[in-house]
Amino acid sequence: MATNHHAVLPDEPEKATLEGKNKVLGFWLFLGGETVLFGSLFATFIALRDQANGGPTSQALFDMNLVAVATLLLLTSSMTSVMATLALHKKDLKKIQLWLTITVLLGLGFLALEIYEFVHYVNEGLKMSTSAFSSAFYTLVGFHGAHVAFGICWIILLQLSATKKGLTVVTAPKFYLACLYWHFIDVVWVFIFTVVYLMGMIGGKVG
Amino acid sequence: MSAHASHAPNRSGLWDYLTTVDHKKIAILYLIAGGIFFLAGGLEALLIRLQLMYPELELIGAKTFNELITMHGTTMIFLAVMPIIFALMNAIVPLQIGARDVAFPFVNALGFWLFFFGGVLLNTSWFLGGAPDAGWTSYTTLALNQYSGSGVDFYVLGLQIAGLGTLIGGINFLVTIINMRAPGMTFMRMPMFTWSSFITSGLILFAFPAITVGLVLLMFDRLFGGNFFNPDAGGNVVIWEHLFWIFGHPEVYILILPAFGIISEVVSTFSRKRLFGYSSMVFATALIGFLGFMVWAHHMFTTGLGAIANTLFGLATMLIAVPTGIKIFNWLLTMWGGQIRFPTANLFAVGFIPTFTIGGMTGVMLAVPPADYQYHDSYFVVAHFHYVIVGGLVFGLFAGLYYWWPKMFGKMLNETIGKWNFWTFFIGFHLTFFPQHFLGLMGMPRRVFTYLKDQNLDMGNFISTIGAFGMTIGTILFLINVVVAAKSSKRAPADPWDGRSLEWAIPSPPPEYNFVQTPLVRGLDALWVEKMAGNKGMTPAEPLGDIHMPSPSFLPFLMSLGLFVAGYGFIYHNYVVVVIGMLFTLGCMFTRSVKDDPGYHIHEDELEEKGVKA
């Protein structure tokens, strides 16, 4: 009945309790809703991406090197977050903390590049109010960036509180969900990289 | 375990309700708040009908009229009927599946408070510079700064906050129904109301993010100079229409499916028969939910999407008539040969069937694109959607309230007043909306604040307004009934209707842990199966033991309050207030994450057959 913190953790500790099972299922459903959210933002962006309104176009602005580095950082962080999940299944808190720290650092690097990128674009004359393209760009990519920022804060919070609470059937689902979330925002980035940047760099209108 | 408080925290009165995470009390909160918004929306409707009672009246004026129609629609959909649906889902679904609680009691409370504060924020617009006046659909460019005042900002922020609450409420019910069913309660043994709540929650999950995005884009356009809907800068107003209806069409199924569930329960109970064609009902509900996502553009036939798109969306829309027809026939065949009783709940259910069928038929008429060019934006459309939403959903909600009131509050509603309530509301409803079909066909556009005399519109409008008085009397009779029931000292029995599903196996109202022992479910209509086997109650699936309960918490209220404050910050362009409100909410989230809730235990010998106090 009661949780004994000193007992051996069960296998897959994130799903060992009913609360844990509920959280994992609920979070998957939440990610389903997030998919619709980003899908709507993507659809809006695709409809408006050629409407530069006389301001800078995507072809004029985007720099492959910067985006490639950002993508590398975020995709690597996706892998390290999976390493953290694997460590969770081995019930090794030290490894979890290590991998999550790397994940957070990579995420911070990505975020720094994105902030630099946005500042650079504003200086180039692409403001929120410049064109329909600029509004759609900043909203879609900014929504993703805000998700990354929230994820970083969340993971740091879990890491800090785990130093006190340890790895239990209460904290394990939290780690698991944070990694799931992180993985999801990486998947979203793959689509942003393709739809926003790659499609934005190749010539004029498509279709 | 020492970390667990062993006694229930002693809270009472208002503080109890502000901090509760008990689904039965949250149900009561939803019902009260939704009921108040229903009265506000009804009052707005009455003013609209008074203005239209005679031609060329100058009762309230055009500007106020626009605000009234916007707020009437928005309030009724988002703040009145959705919360009352959530009230019934909260009160009944956990009981029907034999659960002690929902999957996320804390999130459940948070969902309520978000809805509540969102609704309050929206309604304060009346006193802070004028209510939104761009229609409940808030089409751009009408809803942009150059044509609409700050009221639309209240619409955007209020609905955003309330919508978040609905979304997490939907996730909570999905997980509850998937993970928390009692032993033996397989999916194909779930009562129809639980099934329809399940599908509705799924629709909420996939439909609400679309309106979230739509509202964000509108907010960025209005507050931060975005150009999404500004054609001068390359924006596209049709994007709003798409996003709104990708949400908005599933939304009407979010509303009507729970009513279908209620009608199924009520008709079956009061016919003393198993629901006819149970599995086809489940299939039809799922199919309606699926098709509900495929038809949004039938609201946009006149937008100019082209003949192919219009044809496909028209056909998909007509297809929905098939599963809906299956449902209508199943209800009729459930009654066929049954021992039918007609308490108020069943009167509303039986009144629902022909009324909803009329609304469905006009829906098929509207699904024909060339014909729709004639009906579009006329009173025919107004008549159609009031037949499905009032004649369908509100009748269903009344049926559900009369049926489950004893379970929720432990008191019976008076049947004599109930019958007056039904007949005044039923006749008033048809008087109000039946003539509107013809007003529309004769060319009266919707959303006009007055009309010229001697255009054959006078009589129809006059009758329609008289009907609105009938619905008002019906609603007042319901309120009187609630007061009479609350004052009466007679307690409702556990099973007043000779019920069939699990909620009737426990006291009215149920104790906070619902089931002393989790029941073992041995078939569809779980309680009826035991009754037919000659058993006194359910067979327990577990031995008596301590019951673990989640602790009450004030955090859901505070989290929502933070967003409420931040909402005003956005509306008044005061970003210090935004930051304060947001930080407050994030701080509450931080507290929730760091501080584990050990809950408390109700000891085995404290368990008694005692209900929550309403």
Q: pLDDT tens across B70-117, in order?
A: 999 999 999 999 999 999 999 999 999 999 999 999 999 999 999 999
The secondary structure of residue B135, as a DSSP letter, is: T
Residue A170 forms part of a structural domain: yes
Looking at residue B612, its pLDDT comes to 44
Which pTM does this prediction carry?
0.95
User: Judging by beta carbons within 10 Å of its beta carbon (0-12, 13-18, 19+), is residue B241 exposed, middle or buried?
Assistant: buried
- The answer, yes or no, to whether residue B205 has pLDDT greater than 50, is yes
Give the total number of structural domains in chain B.
1
**In this predicted structure, what is the pLDDT of residue B607?**
78
Give the CATH number, domain containing residue B480. Answer: 1.20.210.10
What whole-number distance in Å separates Cα of residue A100 and Cα of residue A82? Answer: 9
Amino acid occupying residue B71: M
Q: Does B14 touch chain A (CB under 8 A)?
A: no
Spell out which residues of chain B touch residue A2, defining contact as CB-CB under 8 Å: 1, 3-4
Interface of B with A in 93-122 (CB under 8 A): 103-104, 107
- Mutating which of A25, A58, A135 best tests the B interface, going by the most B Cβ atoms within 10 A? A135
- Is residue B226 less than 8 Å (CB to CB) from chain A? yes
pLDDT value of residue B13 = 85
- Provide the percentage of residues in chain B whose pLDDT is more than 90: 94
Q: Domain limits at B41?
A: 13-553+597-606
Does residue B580 sit within a domain? no
Which of 158-177 (B) contact A at CB < 8 A?
167, 171-172, 174-175
Q: Is B144 on the interface with A (CB under 8 A)?
A: no
Q: What is the mean pLDDT of residues B183-200?
A: 97
Q: Cβ B205–A51 below 8 Å, yes or no?
A: no
B593: which 2 tokens? 């994450």
End-to-end CA distance of chain B: 32
Q: Is B222 in a helix, a strand, or coil?
A: helix
Do the chains contact at B594 and A37, CB–CB below 8 Å?
no
What residues of A are in contact with residue B227 (Cβ under 8 Å)? 51, 53, 129-132, 134-135
Query: At residue B603, does pLDDT exceed 90?
Result: no
Residues A26-83 pLDDT 10s = 999 999 999 999 999 999 999 999 999 999 999 999 989 999 999 999 999 999 999 9
How would residue A4 be classed by pLDDT, with cut points 50, 70 and 90? very low
Judging contacts by C-beta atoms under 8 Å, the chain A residues touching residue B206 are 32-33, 36
Quick check: B593 and A158 CB within 8 A? yes
Q: Which residue of B has its CA nearest to A31?
A: B205
- Residue A9 falls within a domain, yes or no? no
CB of A120 within 8 Å of any CB in chain B? no
The CATH number given to whatever domain includes residue A129 is: 1.20.120.80
Q: Within an 8 Å CB–CB cutoff, is residue A156 touching chain B?
A: no
Question: Is the CB of B205 less than 8 angstroms away from the CB of A33?
Answer: yes
**Residue of chain A whose Cα is closest to the Cα of B590:** A157
What's the whole-number mean pLDDT along residues A190-203? 91
Which residues does chain A have within 8 Å of residue B548's beta carbon, measured at their own beta carbons? 1
Q: Residue B9 above 80 pLDDT?
A: no
CA quadruple B219, B223, B226, B229: dihedral, nearest 10:
50
Q: Is the pLDDT of residue B5 over 60?
A: no
Q: Give the separation between CA B335 and CA A61, rounded to whole angstroms.
A: 68
Asked whether the predicted pLDDT for residue A110 surpasses 50, the reply is yes
Is B7 part of a structural domain of the chain? no
Print the domain residue range for A178: 68-207
Taking 70 as the threshold, does the pLDDT of residue B123 lie above it?
yes
Whole-angstrom CA distances from B206 to B195, B283, B586 are: 17, 19, 25
**Which residues in chain B are closer than 8 Å to A136, comparing Cβ atoms?**
228
Please tell me if residue A174 touches chain B, with a CB cutoff of 8 Å.
yes
Mean pLDDT of B46-52: 97
CB pairs under 8 A between A and B: 126
3-state secondary structure at position B5? strand
Whether A103 is covered by a domain: the verdict is: yes
Determine the residue of chain A that is closest to B209 in CA distance.
Answer: A37
Residue B173 falls inside a structural domain = yes
Q: Residue B566 domain-assigned?
A: no
Helices A171-192 and A64-89: crossing angle in degrees, nearest 10, is: 160
Instruction: Determine contact: B305 vs chain A, CB below 8 A.
Output: no
Question: Minimal Cα–Cα distance from B217 to chain A, Å?
Answer: 8
Mean pLDDT for B22-50 is 97
DSSP secondary structure, B336-368, as one string: TTS-----HHHHHHHHHHHHHHHHHHHHHHHTS
Nearest residue, CB atoms, B220 vs list A37, A127, A135: A135
What would the two tokens of residue A166 be?
A: 């340890």
Instruction: Determine, for residues B227 and A131 on separate chains, whether the beta-carbon distance falls below 8 Å.
Output: yes
Q: Domain tally for chain A?
A: 1
CB distance B562 to B582 below 8 Å? yes
Task: Kindly determine whether residue A128 and residue B4, on different chains, have CB atoms separated by under 8 Å.
Answer: no
Domain assignment of residue A16, yes or no: no
pLDDT at B2 over 90: no
User: What is d(CA B18, CA B459) in angstroms, rounded to the nearest whole number?
Assistant: 49
CB-based contact, A115 to chain B, within 8 Å: no
Q: What is the mean pLDDT of residues B574-594?
A: 96
The pLDDT of residue B319 is 96
* Angstrom distance (rounded) from CA B16 to CA B30: 15
Question: Each residue of B270-329: pLDDT tens digit?
Answer: 999 999 999 999 999 999 999 999 999 999 999 999 999 999 999 999 999 999 999 999
* B178 contact residues in A (CB cutoff 8 A): 25
Label residue A162 by pLDDT band (50, 70, 90). very high
Banded pLDDT at B7 (limits 50, 70, 90)? low
- The pLDDT of residue A205 is 52
Token pair 């859901």 in the structure block, residue: B556
Whether A60 contacts chain B with CB within 8 A: no
Residues B322-381 have pLDDT tens digits of 999 999 999 999 999 999 999 999 999 999 999 999 999 999 999 999 999 999 999 999
B433 domain-assigned: yes
Of B1, B167, B174, the CB nearest to A2: B1
Chain A residues whose CB is inside 8 A of the B106 CB are none
Tokens 């929720």 appear where? B408
Is position B177 within any domain? yes
CA-nearest of B251, B268, B107, B102 to B179 is B102
Q: In whole angstroms, what is the distance from residue B412 CA to residue B344 CA?
A: 11
| Residue A84 placed within a domain | yes
> Does residue A197 sit within a domain?
yes
